Structure formats: C-alpha cells, structure tokens
Amino acid sequence: MPITLAIDCMGGDHGPSVTIPAAFQFLREDAQARAVLVGLPEVFDEAFRKSATEFGERLIVRTASEVVEMDEAPASAMRGKKDSSMRVAIDLVKSGEATAAVSAGNTGALMAISRFVLKTLPGIDRPAIATIIPSMKGQTYMLDLGANVDCTAEHLLQFAIMGAMLLEAVEHSESPTVGLLNIGEEDIKGNEVVKRAAQLLRQSDLNFYGNVEGNDIFKGTTDIVVCDGFVGNVALKSAEGLAHMITSLLSQEFKRNLLTKLIALIAMPVLRRFKRVFDPSRYNGATLLGLRGVVVKSHGSADQVAYVWALRRAAEAARHNLIERIATRMQAVAIKAENAAGEGAAA
Amino acid sequence: MPITLAIDCMGGDHGPSVTIPAAFQFLREDAQARAVLVGLPEVFDEAFRKSATEFGERLIVRTASEVVEMDEAPASAMRGKKDSSMRVAIDLVKSGEATAAVSAGNTGALMAISRFVLKTLPGIDRPAIATIIPSMKGQTYMLDLGANVDCTAEHLLQFAIMGAMLLEAVEHSESPTVGLLNIGEEDIKGNEVVKRAAQLLRQSDLNFYGNVEGNDIFKGTTDIVVCDGFVGNVALKSAEGLAHMITSLLSQEFKRNLLTKLIALIAMPVLRRFKRVFDPSRYNGATLLGLRGVVVKSHGSADQVAYVWALRRAAEAARHNLIERIATRMQAVAIKAENAAGEGAAA
C-alpha cells in the first residue's frame, strides 16, 4: 500500500515557502509516496497548480480556514481552531486518508491535537517525543523531549519500547541498544524512579545496555537514550547553550583583527566541513510516539533541506509500520505482566 | 584572625607533586595565610624541608599513615582509614586548627568524611556541592553537583541559600541572582518539586530571578543556577560530552591532510586564545556546602595552576565567613517559618 503524508503547509517560521517546495522535492525523490497538502486557500494559487500537475494524483490539496500560531496556547489551538491546517492534517491520519502527518508548527499544540484526535495506543500512558542528536558514532535517538515530567519507572519503560520500535521502523536496526540516562553506570546510582526503571528494562526483552551518563548521548554509547522529559530538556538545552557559547567565542576570536580575519578566511574550508557534521537539517524530524498514528514534528526554523528530512522520516515510519510495531510490543508487555501477576497470585 | 588551610597533599591524580608546589605558590601569594600540609611521612623529605623554611611558622606539617584511593568506596574510606591524609585534614577543621580543608581526592569519600566529622549546619538536610561553570558573562555557580537525588522543594531552597552565601563570601557579590533550573520560563512549567521550590524562592529574601533553562547556565543569565543533583549532573555531563565531540571533530578536520595541517598551524594562535577562555583550571575548586566548616574539592586531574585556584577559593570562603553567613541565613529562615506557623495557629 502506498503511503500518504498529510503536510501542514502553514506550520513553521517560513510556512508554505518552505513546506511546499519540500513536499515537491520529497514526491520527486519518493515515487511511491503520495501527499495531501493542507493550507489556507490562497496558498494553492495558479503558480502552485501549474507546478503541481507534475505529480498527478499523487498530490492532493485540502484547504483549511485557520492557522495555529507558533506561540498559541495548546488548549486554545485545540478547542478554538477546529479547521486549522494542523488539525485537518491530523484528522486525515485519523480518517485513514493519510498514513502520517508532518508539521513544523507549535509543538505543544501539535501534541495536544494529536493526542485528542488520534488517542494513545493501549498500554501507553503518555505520548513522548523522540529527537535525533548528532553523536561521535553518527546519531543517538533520545526521548522523552516532549515535556513529560514526574515520570514513573513504567513510563520510562514505555519510552524505551517506543524508541526501540522507532529505530526498527525508521533506521531498520535490529534490536537497537537502549541506555537509561543516569548519574553513574553502577546500579546503585540514581534516583528511585531510575533505579526501578533499570529493573524493568533488565526484565524486558529490549536490548538494554544499562545506565548511561550525559556524555554518552554524544559519545553514541547506545542507539537510544531514555529519560524523563525534564531531564531530557535540560540535557539538550545545556548542550545547545554550550555549543552556542563555543561558536560565538570562536567567531569573536576570528573577528578580533585583520590578521585573525585573514586566518579565518584560510581556515574556512576546514571550519565549513566541521560545521557540516553538525548540520541540524540532517537531524530534523522529531517523532511523536505512543499515538494511534504517525506524527512527525519538524523544527520551526527548518529550511527546505531540513523539512524534506522530516518528510522522509515520516514516510519511513509509516511504511515500516511504526504504530503496529509499538502496539504489538506493548501487547506482549501486557501479557507478560498479566502472567507474572497470575503466577504471583498462584504462588 | 589569619586563616589556615589544611591541605590533603596525597589527594588527586598527581598527589604531592602538584599539591605541595601549589601550596608554596599560594603561601607566597597570600602573605596572611597559613597552611597545614597533611601527607605520608616520606613526602616531607630533606628537599621539602629546605624549601619550606621560606615560610617559617606559616607552614606546618602533619603526617598521616594512610591514603584514600581515588576509586575507594566512601564507606570504606570513612570507617577503615581513620588516619588518612583526607581525614586528618578534615579533623583539623573540626578541632579549629585549620579554617578550611582542601582535597583533590575521591569526591564521595570527601563528602562522607566531611559530613561525618564536621556535621551539617542547623536547618541543612543535605550538604551540596557547588561548581563553577564558564559562561558568556564570565562564570555561573551551579549546585547541586553532589549527587543529591530525589530532592524536595525545601532542599532546593537550602541549596539556593548556600549558593548565594558562597557568592557573597567568595565573589563579594551583593545579593547575587538565583535561577531555578526548569524546562521553561513560565511558572506553570516543570515538575511538582520545581514548581513548589519556585514558590519558596519567591517568598524568600534571596534575589530570585525565576526559572532558567539549560542554555542559561552558559549564557550567564543568573549568578547561581539551582537544581537537583541528578539534573545538575546530567546537564553538566551532557555539555562536557558535546564539548568533547566538538573538539575531537575539529581536530580530526584539521588533521585530515597536509593542507589542513598547515591551516591548523596558521590558525593556532586564534585557537589557543579561544582555548584559554575555556581553561578549566580557572574554574577549579568546588565547594562542599552546608557543613560546619569550609571544605573545597579540587578536580582530581588539577595541575598546579588549577590547584592554586582551589586553595584561593577555600581561603576566600574562610576569610569571609562562609559558614557564619549560611548559619545566620538559615536561622532567619527558621524564625520566619516559625512565625508563619505561629500566625497560622493563631488565625
């Protein structure tokens, strides 16, 4: 069955000027894929219609009358804007007209609307957001980055399962390694929730590596790093803060005087290669996990190259049955827990 | 009254080869200070005695028969080695022969021994460790980095008070700003503990800025960043991990071929200046807070320059009455709480 992406053309800092060319590029790349572009009527003008003919039936347009603002409160977006481009895109996944939705809009609103419309999978208490982080070995998937605070050990186990299934679907890795973010490698380290989560993970059939520390995210010690949304947010923002400090101090030093500017010019090819490794566009496309449908969040500031990456990830997740994988695995966990409870009662 | 530092000469990766020259440098710099050097007898040999004459009565030697290993379990160091150089240094603070202790030894053992020997100040449930982080504005003090996990809102308030008193004593800042590490600036963000801690901090007489995020540590938004020891550890290790990745990738790029190596040579002066800003030695000297005595932990890998910074910080904290400042402020908090309780009962 061909996959169909519902694309919220209005979301993100650049809106249709990025999302539409990205959608075209994606459809050219992926001849098996279809797309439904959702946006305000004026977006689909004469020029658009002319270029869109290239894709024939693979490209469908759906108009919406409203747009969720980037700084709008999730509750207001959810209740007040039932015909927003974001909402219509998610509705298309719900109705089965699309197999995945992609938006660069307001994260809080996207999560609230997705959860409300699609609902969570059986056994999943809280949907999570998995993000891709560059690492010394390529990339690390990290979750939760969706602001799930006060998580229990069971939540962390669910995050681990969802993350592992995401890697199976999108990266085609068999039995990806899972690390639990902690403050030491030893079992006795950490807070009560993390200690219990380690027990649950050890009992699970996931490929559990054990505890990892903050630096392991960038070392690439494991394929997946699992943590509470509070800790995940702080870890990532701290690293971003340091990266910003390093680059701005480095550029200050190179701009100091004529000589250093000349040196910068000479060093440019090397610095540019170096920058490419960190190119955030390659890592664009965070996946909302635990819902009854594939939803991918692009960074708001994404350019065309970055947005295409988010579309590719959504297509891959949908094509390789992300939702079914999570549902099946969660069912196995539930049966195991039931059996354990039964044995406990019999003993 | 002159201050006296008790220096654990055996601690750290380099032991006496760093700690003794550093002690000498410190005593030369600070003509008002005294030091008690604690180490195995063989450390204080003929050569040592000759050089030590320079300082006359300002330098005293105290021998110890044991050394706490860098990877020794804190409990074993505390119970099994009552005559370790670390223990003797702390005992000197307890007896009043020294006004502060400095060690580059095993952090866990130093905390356990300090807590056992010196005890905590009234009102302090858990001692904390405050570390200095380089920031765009100079430096940020962050605590807890002493592995206090599962902290309550009251613990975070205590950390904030201790951090503020440390800055008053060591940096001579009046009313330093305190930020509470969270996942957003808005009051509604964060987990339950952080939300309640924000309330307590708002009611306190500290200069509470409000919530800060991970990137604010390096931006230098506030003088002090307060967090749970779990979150603090993850934030710092993540940032360290990224820094390591950036520097190793950059050096890889510069080593790629003859041309890039030549470029590296040309860019060296700029890169070296840049590196100096991040020079970790300037930030050496983490303070153990909440004890009835000043204890400063140097990084284990500290060289002489870095170790002197730890000694300076210990001297400054002792000279400017860190312990009395914390004790007085905690008393004020206790009285305020009592009055509030009394009013509550009267109402």
Q: What residues of chain B lie within 8 A of the CB of A181, using their CB? A: 234
Preceding omega of B144 cis (within 30 degrees of 0): yes
Q: What is the per-residue DSSP string for B175-194?
A: S-EEEEE-SSSSTT-S-HHH
Q: Name the residue facing A190 among B216, B227, B230 (closest C-beta).
A: B230
d(CA A168, CA B218): 36
Q: Write the CATH number of the domain with boundaries B130-281.
A: 3.40.718.10
A297-320 pLDDT per residue, tens: 999 999 999 999 999 999 999 999
Q: Write the CATH number of the domain with boundaries A131-281.
A: 3.40.718.10
* From-to residues of CATH 3.40.50.10950 in chain B: 1-124+290-347
Long-range residue pairs from A271-280, CB within 8 A, at least 24 positions apart, any chain: A271/B253, A273/B253, A273/B256, A274/B249, A274/B250, A274/B253, A277/A134, A277/B249, A278/A134, A278/A243, A278/B246, A280/A306
* Partner A, chain B 205-224, Cβ-Cβ below 8 Å: 213-219
* From-to residues of CATH 3.40.718.10 in chain A: 131-281
Q: What residues of chain B lie within 8 A of the CB of A239, using their CB? A: 214, 238-239, 241-242
pLDDT in tens, chain B (347 residues): 689 999 999 999 999 999 999 999 999 999 999 999 999 999 999 999 999 999 999 999 999 999 999 989 999 999 999 999 999 999 999 999 999 999 999 999 999 999 999 999 999 999 999 999 999 999 999 999 988 999 999 999 999 999 999 999 999 999 999 999 999 888 878 899 999 999 999 999 999 999 999 999 999 999 999 999 999 999 999 999 998 888 888 888 888 888 888 888 888 877 787 777 777 788 999 999 999 999 999 999 999 999 999 999 999 999 999 999 999 999 888 787 777 777 766 55
pLDDT, position B96:
96
pLDDT in tens, chain A (347 residues): 689 999 999 999 999 999 999 999 999 999 999 999 999 999 999 999 999 999 999 999 999 999 999 989 999 999 999 999 999 999 999 999 999 999 999 999 999 999 999 999 999 999 999 999 999 999 999 999 988 999 999 999 999 999 999 999 999 999 999 999 999 888 888 899 999 999 999 999 999 999 999 999 999 999 999 999 999 999 999 999 998 888 888 888 888 888 888 888 888 877 787 777 777 788 999 999 999 999 999 999 999 999 999 999 999 999 999 999 999 999 888 787 777 777 766 55
* From-to residues of CATH 3.40.718.10 in chain B: 130-281
- CATH code matching the domain that covers B1-124+290-347, chosen among 3.90.79.10, 1.10.3720.10, 3.40.50.10950, 3.30.1490.20: 3.40.50.10950
Here the tokens at position A161 are 């399962």
Query: Sheet containing B294-297: which strands, arranged edge to edge?
Result: B59-63, B34-39, B4-8, B100-103, B294-297, B286-289, B128-135, B138-143, B224-226, B177-181, B207-212
Q: What residues of chain B lie within 8 A of the CB of A229, using their CB? A: 183
Give the list of residues 6+ apart from residue B50 with CB closer than 8 angstroms, or none: none
Size of interface A-B (CB pairs under 8 A): 171
